[in-house]
């Protein structure tokens, strides 16, 4: 039997009871009174909503027209058309102050799936490689394992980049040349709650270049590629030398991810909820748009690749809608960090991939971690709305818990706060979280509370020069900006506002020491 979806008014009236209905975690009883396995959080006999998270790779805030040029998303000033994401924003809500927990990809993916800042793990800076050991422990609750316990069918399709338990021929650490490609990995998406996975090990510019389906290589990487330089350096699109499957085609990776995500949606049953995590490989290097998209923009290979990313997202959305899941699916589109788009590319193409923000991918400044974040949930989320709430991708875990009808256990998602109240009410004035901690590629910390952003050091901490700056005698030891007055982070107020420096430094140190940043008051509200 099927049921009509709740209206937005019905949902808002009943959503307040969600937090009292149980805990989503290892102790959850799926058959607990008031919350059936396939029922909605409101308990009206309607099934739990589907959740789809599409995570672009290196998509900048300014790459999405709806972010920069609203309410005229097709303004002629824009260099890259993004009609699919723009349309999604018109059907749902845009968060204008959304952040990744790190300015590079592995730590962001860790934070998204676990609700925990990655700097609490063994990875204190940088990213993993294609042969790295798994970063997420098998006993740590993830969004996938949490929702699987609620009866969700779970899938991961795309770029993994969180380490894999490769089996080696010599029993040593995995590296190029010693992996047993015929043996299933011992630790991967299946170990962390995903029923189905179709992935590449890491970024598309990192070997080994091969597909894995449910922990097994689809085709062993028995050939070798010599690698290639970046497009702007005269190469075919940057990737490193290493083992490659004979039929592996860089240009075909994004279309394959899209097709596999579409197939996953089509296989789902109408009355069984599903969670689909789609970490795209693009527009991260190598920039490899298909012939269909070459020359579609004024921003050369990069712009054409962004246009293809938008079309891929659009195809997944279309499949969700055509399959009859539109009205009962929370759909989220975001990015793992800002765009790798230095100043010389801005000057060359007149395109600001990161919008008005300072810096680029890897940096501690806003362009490194402020990202597009668009959500749609018909009947619940007000179409064409936007929120200025400061949020973080670690918040997706607590949000998914709330959507599924519960709260997180105290030992899970320590840096995750539900943003569901802000999704449902774009005028919500009360902050959904106390503060957000930022982290650069080199491990430089920052903390944001209200308009104030404190950076615990000098320099970008990432790709933009200078990366590190030694303090001058008697000068500021870090950076302090008021983003309301100075969104471009140009005026360092460290010396002028010592009381803010003291407060935010103490708050950052407390978050580090106590192992969590989600206050009890916010935990109760998720």
pLDDT at 68: 81
Tokens 């047993």 belong to residue: 180
pLDDT at 41: 52
Residue 105 to residue 122: CA distance in whole angstroms: 15
- Structural domains in the chain plus CATH codes: 8-436 (3.40.720.10), 437-523 (3.30.1120.10)
Find the mean pLDDT for residues 500-523.
88
pLDDT at 406: 83
Phi, psi of 68 (to 5 degrees): -100, -30
Tens-place pLDDT, residues 20-41: 233 444 333 333 222 233 445 5
**Number of CB atoms found within 10 A of residue 350's CB:** 11
- Mean pLDDT is lowest, of 1-5, 417-421, 466-470, for 1-5
Mean pLDDT of the residues in the chain: 90
CB 351 within 8 A of CB 297: no
**What secondary structure does DSSP assign to 219-230, as a single string?**
S---EEE--B--
End-to-end CA distance of the chain: 30
Three-state SS sequence of 327-378: HHEEEEEEECCCCCCCHHHHHHHCCCCCCCCCCCCCCCCHHHHECCEEEECC
Tens-place pLDDT, residues 152-188: 999 999 999 999 999 999 999 999 999 999 999 999 9
CB 91 within 8 A of CB 104: no
Tens-place pLDDT, residues 307-349: 999 999 999 999 999 999 999 999 999 999 999 999 999 999 9
Residue from 389, 374, 393 nearest 336 by CA: 393
Confidence check: pLDDT of 499 > 70: yes
Residue 106 to residue 119: CA distance in whole angstroms: 11
pLDDT at 525: 38
pTM confidence score: 0.92
Q: What is the sign, positive or negative, of the torsion defined by CA atoms of 493, 494, 495, 501?
A: positive
Q: What is the side-by-side strand order in the sheet with 479-482?
A: 436-439, 445-449, 452-455, 479-482
pLDDT at 18: 35
For residue 118, the 8-state DSSP code is G
Residue 351 to residue 283: CA distance in whole angstroms: 15
287: tokens are: 């920039």
């Amino acid at each position: 039997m099927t049921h009509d979806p709740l209206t937005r008014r019905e949902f808002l009236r009943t959503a307040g009871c969600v937090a009292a209905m149980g805990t989503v975690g290892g102790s959850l009883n799926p058959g607990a009174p008031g919350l059936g396995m396939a029922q909605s959080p409101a308990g009206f006999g309607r099934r739990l909503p589907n959740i789809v998270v599409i995570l672009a790779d290196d998509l900048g805030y300014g790459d999405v027209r709806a972010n920069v040029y609203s309410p005229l998303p097709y303004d002629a000033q824009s260099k890259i058309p993004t009609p699919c994401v723009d349309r999604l924003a018109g059907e749902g809500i845009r968060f204008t102050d959304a952040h990744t927990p790190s300015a590079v990809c592995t730590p962001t993916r860790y934070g998204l799936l676990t609700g925990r800042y990655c700097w609490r793990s063994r990875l204190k800076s940088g990213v993993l490689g294609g042969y790295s050991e798994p970063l997420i422990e098998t006993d740590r609750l993830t969004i996938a394992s949490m929702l699987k316990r609620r009866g969700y069918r779970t899938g991961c399709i795309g770029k993994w980049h969180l380490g894999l338990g490769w089996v080696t021929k010599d029993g040593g650490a995995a590296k190029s040349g010693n992996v047993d490609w015929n043996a299933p990995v011992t630790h991967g998406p299946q170990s962390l709650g995903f029923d189905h996975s179709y992935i590449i090990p890491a970024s598309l510019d990192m070997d080994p270049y091969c597909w894995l389906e449910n922990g097994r290589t689809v085709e062993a990487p028995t050939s070798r590629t010599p690698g290639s330089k970046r497009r702007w350096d005269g190469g075919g699109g940057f990737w490193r030398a290493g083992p490659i499957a004979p039929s592996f085609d860089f240009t075909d990776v994004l279309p394959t991810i899209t097709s596999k995500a579409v197939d996953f949606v089509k296989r789902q049953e109408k009355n069984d909820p599903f969670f689909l995590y789609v970490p795209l490989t693009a527009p991260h290097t190598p920039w490899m748009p298909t012939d269909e998209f070459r020359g579609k923009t004024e921003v050369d290979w990069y712009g054409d690749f962004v246009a293809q990313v938008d079309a891929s997202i659009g195809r997944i959305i279309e499949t969700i809608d055509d399959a009859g899941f539109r009205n009962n699916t929370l759909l989220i589109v975001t990015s793992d960090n800002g765009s790798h788009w230095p100043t010389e590319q801005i000057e060359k193409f007149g395109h600001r991939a990161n919008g008005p923000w300072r810096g680029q991918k890897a940096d501690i400044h806003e362009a490194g971690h402020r990202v597009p974040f668009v959500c749609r949930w018909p009947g619940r989320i007000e179409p064409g709305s936007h929120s200025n709430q400061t949020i973080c991708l670690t918040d997706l875990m607590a949000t998914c818990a709330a959507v599924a009808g519960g709260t997180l256990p105290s030992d899970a998602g320590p840096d995750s706060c539900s943003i569901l109240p802000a999704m449902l009410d774009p005028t919500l004035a009360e902050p959904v979280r106390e503060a957000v901690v930022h982290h650069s590629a080199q491990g430089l910390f920052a903390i944001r509370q209200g308009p104030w952003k404190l950076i615990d050091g000098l320099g970008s901490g990432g790709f933009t020069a200078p990366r590190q700056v030694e303090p001058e005698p008697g000068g500021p030891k870090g950076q302090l900006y008021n983003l309301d007055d100075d969104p471009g982070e140009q005026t360092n107020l460290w010396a002028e506002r010592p009381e803010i420096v003291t407060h935010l430094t103490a708050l950052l140190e407390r978050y580090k020491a106590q192992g969590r940043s989600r206050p009890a008051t916010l935990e109760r509200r998720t």
